[in-house]
Amino acid sequence: MIGKKFVLLQNGEIIDKGEALLKTPFLEEWKHSTIKNTKKYSYIATVNTIRFYLRAVNFTKNKYQELKIKLGNMRRKNSNRELLEKREENKFLKMIGEYKQKIREIKHKIKEEEEL
C-alpha cells in the first residue's frame, strides 16, 4: 500500500498534504506522556535545586555563627591572658618583697662590717 502511494506520488498524481504516512494512536500517546513526564520531572528538579540551595545557605549560616562564637571565645581567652600578664602585683606582696630586699641589704652590710 505504501509502495503504491509512493509510486503515485512520484508521478504527481497524489497531492501531499504534509501529514505523516504513519500516524498511530500509540505514538501520539507516547508523545503526550513524554511531554507530561518532562514537565513533571522539570518541576521536581526545580524544587530539589531550591531545596539544596536553601539547605546549603542555612548550613553555611550556622557554621559561620559557630565559628564566630569560637573565635570570640579565643579572643577573650587571649585578652584575659594579656590582662593577667599586664596586671600589677598585689601591693601587700610588693611591700613584703621590698622589706625582704632591705633585710638582705642590711644583712649583707653587717657581714661586710664583721669581716673588716
Residue pair 14/8 in contact by the 8 Å Cβ criterion: yes
Mean pLDDT by 10 residues, the chain (116 residues): 68 59 70 89 96 97 95 83 69 89 94 84
Residue 97 lies in a domain: no
Residue 56 lies in a domain: yes
Residue 81 lies in a domain: yes
Residue 105 lies in a domain: no
pLDDT of residue 32: 84
The end-to-end CA distance of the chain, in Å, is 146
Residue 53 lies in a domain: yes
pLDDT of residue 68: 94
Domain extent, residue 31, equals: 22-88
pLDDT of residue 79: 76
Residue 103 lies in a domain: no
Residue 107 lies in a domain: no
pLDDT of residue 52: 97
Q: For residues 106 and 116, what is the distance between their CA atoms, to the nearest angstrom?
A: 16
Residue 54 lies in a domain: yes
pLDDT in tens, 82-93: 666 666 678 888
Tell me how many domains the chain contains.
1
